[in-house]
Structure 1
Amino acid sequence: MRDVVKRISRSPPRAKAAAAAAPPRQALALDAALDLNAAGQLRAALLALRGADLALDASAVHHLGAQCAQVLASAAATWAADGAALTIPVASEPFAHSLRLLGLQSILIPESIQA
Structure 2
Amino acid sequence: MGSDTPLLSHKRLELPMGALKPWHIAILVVVLILLFGAKRLPDAARSLGRSLRIIKAETKSLQDDDRDLAEKADAQAGYQPLPPQGAQPQQTTYQAPPQQPVVDPVQRVRDN
TM-score by length of 2: 0.20
Normalized per residue, the structure richer in strand is 1
Bigger radius of gyration: 2
The structure, 1 or 2, with the larger RCO (C-alpha pairs under 8 Å, 6+ apart) is: 1
TM-score by length of 1: 0.20
